[in-house]
Amino acid sequence: MLFVGHISLAFLIVYFISSKFQGIRKAVSIALVMLLSILPDIDMVFRFAGIDLGHRTFIHSAIIWLLVGGITISFFTIKYLKGSVAAVYLIAYLSHLLIGDVIVAPINLLYPLGDFIVNSPIKGGSLQHILLETVLFALMAAVVITRYYLFKSRSEDIFLFRYHYKMDTFLYPVLALAIIVSLFYVVAEFELSLVELSVLTLLHFGIISLIVLIWLVSKSAKRQERMVYNP
């Protein structure tokens, strides 16, 4: 799955969780959620730099990250009573491995302890793959745009998720840059027709537009919230 699909999928999962647990909207950085959803593919960045970590190996191991995540959640629960926030971030990361990569391409979920290779019939760059990316993006766009108009009409203090100045000021630009790099990777990696290339280009710039919308509106909402409590 491409960055468009991974980001959309993690966003939708965490948005659904936040609808059940309202405190998540205030505590979680959605920028970090979306960035974690594509972080496993950083092994490709290392490969371009001449460092071969092996794509879909350690960084894509569900066993390793469930262990790391379990320890992290336990630590935050004991020390800060915020294990739920750490769990949401872990879910965002694991959505890449256990859903995104399982749906589109082969992955060994038990690496390095054993072999449990899941091989999807949907191949990267195929019509089914592009349709899947489009559907996930469309669902995310529907949520963001709907919430945007509801936010304007209701004058709520939080748009989707609270803006975190210390993290999000840095994370949103990094996220947008990563998606642009992903587009260049797609062009170089897959043999696409003009129509397929046009659709994927629109999807990449479309999700950047959604992210910028979330960025600007949530930042503005946070500024207004500060003015209310610090007149």
Query: 4-15, pLDDT tens digit by residue?
Result: 999 999 999 999
pLDDT of residue 21: 85
pLDDT reported for residue 23: 86
Q: Which residues of the chain have pLDDT under 50?
A: none
Through-space distance between the first and last CA atoms of the chain, rounded to whole angstroms:
47
Instruction: Please report the pLDDT score of residue 80 as a whole number.
Output: 59
pLDDT of residue 107: 78
